[in-house]
Copies of this chain bind each other. A is one copy, B any other.
């Protein structure tokens, strides 16, 4: 099997609304092959798509005010999180876990104040991260696979790991159920989270405190597809199978 290589895309500028992210990544001097995976940070995509909101422009309602008081957060930020969410799952000890409109279970609906220009602004997740990934793919020379990555906490483990909130041209899951192991025994619980693990590999080379908004992951050719595929929406566990909320 070929090695996996993850290489950061250096020198990207601060991204603003309307910027051509595909052109910036393609012009950064890192070669991108048609079977490579371009992993782009959610924040860069959101900024390019203008998904940055000034807190001063948000009018918090009663639920947001109540959450803010309970959690010690800004009411305007809580309103933004509620606007992005379909369900509040946990709100305690300063932590707010929700299900977003996309179906993602994460803290603060992905609304984030770090690395956002202007101290009074917050960045929201893309409206449709799979559509964002498809657009980026179509715009990148050679049409490589694209993953849009965000850092998620985990229920029972400390630290954040990057996952794919959007993807195009990459099989998000590798389903080997029904195939046999090397003893001939049928594999039961063998679906591999390819896109999430590609996002995690890329996270290890992106300096998230800085501006490295993208990385190229090579060696996943066997999971790269000609069509855009089902996207990262296919990774979301159906609510009916959720054992923990």
Chain A residues engaging chain B, CB cutoff 8 angstroms: 1-8, 10, 14, 90, 92-93, 95, 97, 104-105, 107, 113-119, 151, 153-163, 172-174, 176, 179-183, 185, 187-194, 196-198, 200-201, 203-212, 219-220, 234-237, 241-245
| Shortest Cβ-Cβ A-B pairs, 8 listed | A159-B193, A201-B201, A105-B156, A197-B200, A200-B200, A4-B6, A3-B7, A115-B181
Question: Which B residues are in CB contact (< 8 Å) with A200?
Answer: 161, 196-197, 200-201
Residue of B nearest to A116 (CB): B183
B105 touches A190 (CB 8 A): no
Copies in the complex: 2
Q: Which of B159, B210, B234 contacts A158 (CB 8 A)?
A: B234
B204 touches A182 (CB 8 A): no
Q: Which of B10, B97, B160, B210 contacts A192 (CB 8 A)?
A: B160
Residue of B nearest to A91 (CB): B243
